[in-house]
Amino acid sequence: MRLSKIVTLIPICILTLSLLTGCEDVQIFQTKTDPYKQVPYKDTELVNDRYYVKNNTRFYATYIPVAGNAQSGTSVLNEGRVIATMADDKLIPTFYSDELAAFQSYSLGLNSVGLERFAVLGYSIGCFSGSITEDGYLYCNKEGLVQGSSLYSAIGETESDAIRIATIDGKPLSLEQINRKAGVITGLEQGKTYKVGYFLGTKYYEKNIAADCRMYQAYEMYSFGKDYLYDTPNGYMSFSMPQDMKSGYYNINGGGLYKYYDFTRGSKDEQTIDMNESYYKDEKSKIEAYSRQYSVSVPKRVKDLKVTVKLESIETTYADDTIQGIVFAPDGTQMNMDFSSKDKELTIAMAEGMAGDWTLNIIPKTLNVKEIKVDNDKLAEEATCEETVFTLPEDRENVEFIAEYTSYKANVEGCTVFGTVLAEDGKTYEMSLGSYTIDQDHTQYYIYYEIPFAKAGDYVVRIYHYPEETTIQAPTVKDKTETDTEIIIVEG
């Protein structure tokens, strides 16, 4: 009998000890009570076809987003893709520059890695992918609501699929408050409650809504080949972030999100790091990285310029909002083309087109272009071009290229006079027309272009006019701070 009592007590002791001292069991016990605590895994516990961040000997699963419209992977940059998090934001693992990502599979493994980077938009109420209506409201449907958010709870199980956010704290929404590509209200404080006015269909409501959602927006894409992947003897492939990658949030092959810091653990204050610093030096560089470029040369200024880019067959994997045409004018002005999925073409039209080289950026770069067509109402073939080359021997500030002209017409505004300046950096800038009063009977007309800072080099001034209408004086270049015109070097 005494023996049986001892035997009975042993399992109880073992059970008690395991609950108190077993490390693995303690972790499992904690995750049951806190679903938002990251779970460390050993290399023997990795699940096939999942991505992990390795920290020393432990692995943490990348976070697959639940809310938003970016749950699946993509190979094309689409800044309308949004991730929304609440308490689950704590499940995003941290990746430092001297660590690695791991992937295990029964297949042959990975041949490439695609990284979709997300910018942190901050906190907002629980709606995304909205669009701005003509009356200034933010329109979204039920699919654009974050389940579990304060906004979702306030609206409830509505039958209306026409949700319009009208006011916040009694003030109408402004365009500055809305990220138009993501369709998200920005600039709200984490956890703060706002009185939000909204319509469900035609019915108006005002309720207290908390800014309880952290919003992320896709804004950069990268692709890396086999050279960046390494087989390990531990049953998984590894991927290390390239040294020039910026700190930020990345989704790896659509398999989960991680927070990356471009330094080693503990070497910098993480609270001071800009997680949205762009990899590209400017917006133009970013556009060029994701597009295929085509150049269209316009020899002289034209009226009613229209450019049409006809596309070959378009893959069904491309959503309409991922197909873009972005145009850079000779002076660097950026314009967007209109896309017609029905006609499979991108178009842009303008009242006037300046002379020079226009760059068309077609996104994504894998699109095949069938034809590029340029139309205009009138090309001034018969206009005379007066060309002058100026050489600036050194950098100068506040430089102005100017030429006075005389009109033979009573109506000077009816004369055709226009010009361009080809700068040393290869960009073409359009000149402007001006005038000043000499006396009550005489007005002097001129054409000019001002440069706040001109680098040393050659500048080509081309002025177009009709000799029967106007006489153009020799162009000059001067400092705007000086009253007298200073001629540098004139050729031609």
- Residues 180-202: tens digit of each pLDDT: 999 999 999 999 999 999 999 99
Whether the model pTM is above 0.85: no
pLDDT of residue 479: 84
Of the segments 5-9, 167-171, 323-327, which one has the largest average pLDDT value? 167-171
Q: How many angstroms separate the CA atoms of 323 and 290, rounded?
A: 11
Average pLDDT over residues 49-73: 93
Q: Is 96 exposed, middle or buried (0-12, 13-18, 19+ CB in 10 A)?
A: buried
pLDDT of residue 364: 87
pLDDT of residue 382: 60
Q: What is the mean pLDDT of the chain?
A: 85
DSSP labels, 19-35: HHH-HHHHHHHHHHH-T
| Intrachain domains 290-379 and 384-491 with the same fold | yes
Q: How many angstroms separate the CA atoms of 314 and 322, rounded?
A: 11
pLDDT of residue 283: 86
pLDDT of residue 22: 41
Q: Does residue 223 surpass a pLDDT of 50? A: yes
The bridge status of strand 356-363 relative to strand 324-328 is: antiparallel
Q: Does residue 296 surpass a pLDDT of 50? A: yes
List the domain boundaries for the chain.
Answer: 1-33, 34-121+217-272, 126-211, 290-379, 384-491
Q: Does residue 21 surpass a pLDDT of 50? A: no
Average pLDDT over residues 34-59: 92
- Residues 414-443: tens digit of each pLDDT: 778 888 888 887 777 888 889 999 988 889
* Peptide linkage before 364 cis (omega within 30 of 0): yes
**pLDDT higher at 343 or 153:** 153
pLDDT of residue 265: 93
Q: Does residue 4 surpass a pLDDT of 80? A: no
Q: Do 362 and 309 form a contact (C-beta atoms < 8 A)?
A: yes
pLDDT of residue 412: 79
Q: Does residue 8 surpass a pLDDT of 90? A: no
- Residues 465-477: tens digit of each pLDDT: 888 889 999 999 9
384-491 CATH fold: Jelly Rolls (2.60.120)
Average pLDDT over residues 231-240: 91
Q: Do 423 and 430 form a contact (C-beta atoms < 8 A)?
A: no
Q: How many angstroms separate the CA atoms of 472 and 463, rounded?
A: 8
DSSP labels, 364-393: STTPPEEEEEEE-SEE-TT-EEEEEEEEES
pLDDT of residue 136: 87
Average pLDDT over residues 67-95: 93
The correct CATH number of 126-211 out of 3.40.1350, 2.60.34, 2.30.42, 2.40.160 is: 2.30.42
- Residues 114-173: tens digit of each pLDDT: 999 999 999 999 999 999 988 889 999 999 999 999 999 999 777 788 899 999 999 999
- Per-residue CA distances from 247 to 208, 268, 485 (Å): 35, 12, 51
| Per-residue confidence band for 107, with pLDDT thresholds at 50, 70 and 90 | confident
pLDDT of residue 277: 95
Average pLDDT over residues 333-345: 89
Q: How many angstroms separate the CA atoms of 461 and 429, rounded?
A: 10
Contacts of 90 (CB under 8 A, 6+ apart): 36, 37, 38
pLDDT of residue 58: 94
pLDDT of residue 134: 80
What 3-state class would DSSP assign to 152? helix
- Per-residue CA distances from 322 to 31, 51, 291, 316, 319 (Å): 39, 26, 11, 11, 5
The lowest-confidence range among 112-121, 220-229, 352-361 is 352-361
pLDDT of residue 32: 59
Query: Could you give phi then psi for residue 96, rounded to 5 degrees?
Result: -100, 165
Average pLDDT over residues 102-123: 90
290-379: CATH architecture: Sandwich (2.60)
Q: Does residue 287 surpass a pLDDT of 70? A: yes
Q: How many angstroms separate the CA atoms of 490 and 492, rounded?
A: 7
pLDDT of residue 486: 40
The lowest-confidence range among 43-57, 332-346, 403-417 is 403-417
